[in-house]
Structure 1
Amino acid sequence: MRALIVEDKAYIRKGLISLLETADSEITIIGECGSVHEAVVVANACKPDLIFLDINLTDGTGFDFLDQSSHLNFKTIFITAYEEYALKALKAGAVDYLLKPVDFEELQLALKKLKTLSVSEQKKQLNTARNVWYQDDSTLVLSLSDSFQVINLSELLYCESDKGYTTFYLADGRKYIASKPLKEYEERLTLMNFTRPHQSYMVSLKYIDKYDKSGTIYLKTGQKIPVSSRKKEDFISTFLKYNSH
């Protein structure tokens, strides 16, 4: 079985390859990718039998990749950080997934189950998972110091992370500080057209007024958000793709 690993973190890819060498000698790794774009190109060229697919990639999601490669026949095992919203969709579709860091026994079980499932049957499961993924996604519940606060994601301008806390800034001027780091919300927000142009920020694409090529985002409400040099190329690609619709 020829496998492709689609995961944006190199150390996760390396760890998974090491586990696979022990878990199943019949699997050959034919490539590694860190983005949706790269994965689509490689999958079309190599036509893998199995793809280990990260949910949250630098330029989109695992479902974006599946949409763009739906003509290919391969089986999929998702890789995800623990996040209730993601797991709800995957469980609803009975789709195999591995939590990061990948556990050896869980990997063995996923591979065993996968071999009994046809590609066509798994595609049906993926459609179920996709439908759950995109429904009931308009709100987010924040765990604050003294309460649980419901916010509407359509009103969220941007998030700012600082020392393990995340501040949520809303269009009407409200702000809330949640006691979790920004990475805990990244998967969910990426699905709702937010982008991470800087390690400390996630921004709603719909509220961006313009991007100054010197490295600054200007929101329609007047705020300025920096774009780091490391994330500049990914941000510009995401920004232009969103505004080409």
Structure 2
Amino acid sequence: MIRAILVDDEQLNISNLKALLNKHCGSVDVVGTANSVDDSIELINKLNPDVVFLDIEMPDKNGFELLKAFQSPNFEVVFVTAYDAYGIQAIKFSALDYLLKPINIEELKASVNKLEVTLQHKRDNKRLQNLISLLDKKIPNESPKIALPTMKETFFVPIANILRCESSNNYTTFYLCDGTEHVISKPIYEFDEMLSPYGFIRCHQSHLVNKEHVRSILNQDAGYLVLNFGNKNIPISKQKKALIKELLSF
């Protein structure tokens, strides 16, 4: 979901825009609204939105002054204005887009589509930066992370915090030490290759385990790995039992 804040000094305008977004732009979640520049600055710092739909002309301060309050804004901006003359200024401020009041539904949809593409590029760039940091051995003090792209959000998780992975067809579920779970639409063998240099063991066709979190081996059937967290014992395949014991130095 795209997290949005709406800023306009007229509450009716906010209500109208919110209703249009809810009806025609299902990917946008309005997480907050504000009626002044000062209130919106506080709200942006608190909620960290993906985009701010920003009225330009407001009584005390205008929308451009809001942007000047952020040295390096990490959100996109869609200006909403009744004055076409503000378009050039909006472009100079590198706004993603600007909409004229009254808002045209098709123009709103087009603006949200542009926003979706822009945010996806941002996420892809962040994944690439994370990959570079993983490969860069010049930063020994940083805990390496892995990008886990779910349906709604991409999470950047420290590898040390991953307890285990379990496959189901072409999906892999990551289980973290804090009890969090993330389902990723990739097969487990891709993560096996990625995580094995960090001490992960493929103990079974469907299971990949961080050996740092293995407490013991349960001698039942072909064997099970007992982990420090969670209440599920992880099966060991017969073919890998000897190798697993060797890798764990049991």
TM-score bracket relative to the smaller structure:
0.3 to 0.5
**TM-score, normalization by structure 1:** 0.45
**TM-score, normalization by structure 2:** 0.44
